[in-house]
C-alpha cells in the first residue's frame, strides 16, 4: 500500500470507553498506527481535523444534539467507509433511556441551570441519520473485534464478526449455560456475539450489551423467562440496558411494559 489509508476517530454523545479500547490495544495499536495514517483521534492526539477525506471513519456515540448531527453529516460526506463503534453509536446507548422520558422534565430535575443544556429530545443511533457501512457492537466494544475490523479493512476481507447469538460463542468456549443450569435470566440467545461470552463464562447471565442479533426473538425469550417466574419489570429492565433503543429490544420491552 503506497499512501497509508487515513483513519479518523470521531465521537458524538458517549463516554469515550470505546475509543479507549483502541488506546488499550497497545501492541496492536503500534501495528495499526504503522499501517494507517491516524489523521484524527480526539481522545489520544492533539491533531485537529484538517477537513480532508477519510478512508476509514470510526464514529463513537449517539446523536443527541443538533451540533452532533451537523458534525456527523460532515464526517459522512468526507468518509469512504464509516463504521459505528459501540452500543451508543449503533443503538443509542444507555442515554437512549431518555427516549422513554420527558427530556425537559429530566433536565429540570438534574441540572441546576437547565438553560445551559442543549439537547435533542431523543438519543438515536448513527444509522438513523446517515448510511453506515459496518457496525461494531458492544459496550464497550471488544478490542479483538476492533483490531479485526481494522485488519480486515486493510487486508480487504469481510471482518470475521459474526452476527450470531452469544450462545454460539458460549458453547464453543465450553461454558456451562447459566440459563439452563442455574436459571439465571440470560440475554445470550438473542444477543449479538462478539464479547466471547464473557459474562456466562464467569457464571452470570448476559446483559445484552452487544445488542440484538439478527432475528432476535426477544419476546419469545421474555415469555419463557416470565413463565419461569421472572417478573415483567425485571425483564423490562434487562432489555432496557445498554442497547434499549435497538428495535428488537425496544419492541419487546414496550410490549412487556404495556402488560
Partner 1 sequence: MQFLERAALDALFDALRAEGRAVLGPTVVDGAIRLAPIDGAQDLPAGWTDAQGPGHYRLRRGGDATFDGYVVGPDSLKQVFFPSKETLYRAERRADGKLGFSPVLPDPGASAVLGVRACDLAAARIQRAALEGGPYAEPRHRARREAALIVAVNCTRPGALCFCASTETGPRVTEGADLVLTERPDGFLVEAPTQAGRAVLARLDTRPAAADEVAWVDDAMREAAANMGREVDLDGLPEQLFGRLDHARWKIVAERCLACGNCTSVCPTCFCSTSEHPSSIDGDEASRVRLWDSCFTEEHAYIHGGGFRPRTEDRYRQWLTHKVGAWVAQFGTSGCVGCGRCIAWCPVGIDLTEEIAALRQGEGIAALPAPPAHACATDEDLVPRAATVTRVERESDDVVTLHVAVDEGLQGVLPGRFCQVSLPGIGEVPISISGGDGALLEHTIRAVGRATDALCALSPGDAVGIRGPYGRAWPLEALAGRPVVVVAGGIGLAPLRGALRSMIARPDEFPEVHLCYGARSPADVLYAKELLGWMEVPTMHLHLTVDHASPAWLGHVGVVTRLLDARSVPAGASAMICGPEIMMRFTVERLAQLGVPDERTWVTMERNMQCATGFCGRCQYGPYFVCKDGPVFSFDQIRFLFGEEGY
Closest CA to 125 of 259, 250, 256, 255: 250
- Residue 227's Cβ-count burial label (10 Å; 0-12, 13-18, 19+) is exposed
Residue pair 70/21 in contact by the 8 Å Cβ criterion: no
219: alpha, beta or left? (left if phi > 0; alpha if psi -120 to 50): alpha
Which residues sit opposite 60 in a β-bridge? 11, 85
Is 190 one of the binding residues for partner 1 (CB under 8 A)? yes
- 139 touching partner 1, by CB under 8 A: no
Residues of span 17-56 touching partner 1 by CB under 8 A = 28, 31-32, 34-35
Residues of this chain, 215-244, that bind partner 1 according to CB under 8 A: 215-217, 220-221, 223-224
Write the Ramachandran bin of 6: left for phi over 0, alpha for psi from -120 to 50, otherwise beta: beta
Tell whether omega for the bond before 245 is within 30 degrees of 0, i.e. cis.
Answer: no
CB 93 within 8 A of CB 141: no
Q: Which of 19, 94, 148, 211 binds partner 1 (CB under 8 A)?
A: 148
* Binding of residue 151 to partner 1 (CB under 8 A): yes
CB of 34 to partner 1, least distance (A): 8
Rounded CA-CA distance 132/62 in Å is 13
Nearer to partner 1, 92 or 211 (CB): 211
Q: Does 135 bind partner 1 (CB under 8 A)?
A: no
Residue 198 interacts with partner 1 (CB under 8 A): yes or no: no
Smallest gap from residue 180 Cβ to partner 1 (A)? 5
Report the C-alpha gap between 231 and 252 in whole angstroms.
Answer: 14
Which of 70, 73, 121, 160 binds partner 1 (CB under 8 A)? It is 160
Minimum distance of partner 1 from residue 167's CB (angstroms):
4
Q: Which stretch binds partner 1 (CB under 8 A): 6-14, 96-104, 134-142, 182-190?
A: 182-190
- Residue ranges binding partner 1 (CB under 8 A): 28, 31-32, 34-35, 147-148, 150-151, 154-158, 160, 162-165, 167-168, 171-177, 179-182, 186, 188-190, 203, 214-217, 220-221, 223-224
Amino acid at each position: 500500500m503506497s499512501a497509508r489509508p487515513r483513519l479518523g476517530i470521531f465521537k458524538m454523545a458517549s463516554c469515550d470507553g470505546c475509543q479507549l479500547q483502541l488506546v488499550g490495544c497497545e501492541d496492536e495499536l503500534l501495528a495499526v498506527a504503522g499501517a494507517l495514517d491516524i489523521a484524527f483521534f480526539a481522545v489520544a492526539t492533539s491533531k485537529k481535523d484538517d477537513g480532508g477525506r477519510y478512508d476509514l471513519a470510526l464514529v463513537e456515540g449517539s446523536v443527541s444534539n443538533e451540533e452532533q448531527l451537523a458534525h456527523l453529516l460532515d464526517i459522512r460526506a468526507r468518509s469512504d467507509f464509516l463504521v459505528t463503534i459501540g452500543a451508543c453509536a449503533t443503538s443509542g446507548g444507555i442515554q437512549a433511556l431518555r427516549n422513554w422520558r420527558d427530556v425537559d422534565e429530566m433536565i429540570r430535575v438534574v441540572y441546576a441551570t437547565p438553560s445551559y443544556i442543549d439537547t435533542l429530545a431523543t438519543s438515536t443511533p448513527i444509522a438513523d441519520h446517515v448510511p453506515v457501512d459496518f457496525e461494531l457492537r458492544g459496550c464497550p466494544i471488544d478490542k479483538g473485534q476492533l483490531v479485526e475490523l481494522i485488519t480486515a479493512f486493510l487486508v480487504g476481507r469481510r471482518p470475521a464478526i459474526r452476527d450470531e447469538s452469544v450462545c454460539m460463542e458460549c458453547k464453543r468456549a465450553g461454558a456451562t449455560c447459566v440459563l439452563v443450569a442455574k436459571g439465571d435470566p440470560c440475554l445470550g440467545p438473542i444477543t449479538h456475539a462478539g464479547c466471547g461470552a464473557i459474562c456466562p463464562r464467569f457464571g452470570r447471565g448476559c446483559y445484552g450489551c452487544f445488542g440484538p442479533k439478527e432475528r432476535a426473538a426477544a419476546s419469545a425469550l421474555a415469555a419463557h423467562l416470565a413463565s419461569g417466574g421472572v417478573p415483567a419489570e425485571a425483564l423490562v429492565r434487562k432489555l432496557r440496558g445498554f442497547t434499549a433503543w435497538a428495535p428488537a429490544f425496544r419492541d419487546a420491552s414496550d410490549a412487556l411494559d404495556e402488560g
